[in-house]
């Protein structure tokens, strides 16, 4: 029985940059084959952003590792199938990604809670998120926890704060002359607005 752990080192193992890139491409190809019933090498190359020659080499390497089987259908087509060891490798990668994501969200939540507490302390009654944010559910929960109104607008243009509203630009938005320029902490800003990306970068550093 093939152990996929010997093919793809755990995330705690120090792997040279070039080798790590190759392993990531291998996993990307493996996932693409697993998720699609029939796929050509040219389609694989386009999906993972690699050359056709490199994709061909990756497919052969995966086959040698026992993570993939290849069966010639005719002179022009080859059928691929991910082996149980290949499925395990995909699952282990997904689990590592999930763990990293959960860890990041926990860190982001702490930073956002500090912001909401500061906004509340300064007398604002609502937080308005401008643009689409992947952390909207966290912000909405925190606003409810501290008795602030939460609202979100798809528009991401630079807007002047009004009344008791605190404006928070979503992480994908960087308006011209972005508010809170420099290293100023968003939670301590006094101009009624903050830039979410700066908060997240600070939380992840």
* 89 within domain boundaries: no
Same domain assignment for residues 78 and 141? no
Same domain assignment for residues 54 and 146? no
pLDDT number for residue 182: 35
The radius of gyration of the chain from alpha carbons, rounded to an integer in Å, stands at 23
Same domain assignment for residues 78 and 105? no
Per residue, the 3-state secondary structure of the chain, as one string, reads CCCHHHHCCCCCCCCCHHHHHHHHHHHHHHHHHHHCCCCCHHHHHHHHCCCHHHHHHHHHHHHHCCCEEEEECCCCCEEEEECHHHHHHHHHHHHHHHHHHHHHHHHHHHHHHHHHHHHHHCCCCEEEEECCCCCHHHHHHHHHHCCCEEEEECCCCCCCCCCCEEEEECCCCCCCCCCCCCCCCHHHCCCCEEEHHHHHHHHHC
Both tokens of residue 108?
């982001």
* 90 within domain boundaries: no
Q: What is the mean pLDDT of the chain?
A: 77
Global pTM value: 0.48
- Residue at which a domain ends, from 47, 82, 117: 82
Cβ 29 vs Cβ 61: under 8 Å: no
Regions in the chain scoring below 70 on pLDDT:
1-21, 37, 95, 97-103, 155-162, 174-190, 204-205
Same domain assignment for residues 110 and 38? no
pLDDT number for residue 77: 83
pLDDT number for residue 127: 94
Same domain assignment for residues 8 and 70? yes
- Residue at which a domain ends, from 82, 115, 135: 82
Report pLDDT digits (tens) over 19-59.
556 778 888 888 888 888 688 888 888 888 888 899 899 99
Give the total number of structural domains in the chain: 2
Give me the domain span that covers residue 107.
101-204
* 105 within domain boundaries: yes
């Amino acid at each position: 029985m093939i152990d996929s752990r010997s093919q793809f080192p755990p995330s705690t193992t120090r792997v040279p940059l070039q080798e790590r890139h190759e392993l990531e491409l291998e996993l990307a190809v493996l996932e693409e084959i697993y998720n699609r019933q029939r796929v050509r090498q040219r389609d694989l190359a386009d999906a993972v952003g690699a050359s056709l020659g490199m994709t061909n080499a990756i497919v052969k390497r995966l086959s040698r590792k026992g993570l993939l089987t290849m069966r010639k259908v005719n002179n022009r087509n080859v059928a691929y199938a991910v082996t149980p060891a290949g499925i395990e490798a995909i699952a282990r990668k997904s689990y590592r990604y999930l763990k990293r994501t959960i860890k990041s969200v926990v860190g982001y939540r702490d930073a956002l809670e500090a912001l909401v507490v500061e906004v509340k302390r300064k007398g604002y009654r609502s937080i308005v998120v401008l643009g689409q944010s992947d952390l909207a559910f966290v912000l909405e929960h925190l606003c409810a926890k501290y008795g602030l109104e939460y609202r979100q607008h798809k528009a991401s243009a630079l807007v002047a704060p009004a009344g008791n509203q605190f404006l928070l630009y979503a992480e994908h938005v960087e308006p011209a002359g972005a508010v809170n320029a420099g290293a100023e902490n968003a939670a301590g800003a006094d101009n009624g607005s903050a830039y979410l990306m700066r908060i997240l970068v600070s939380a992840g550093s």
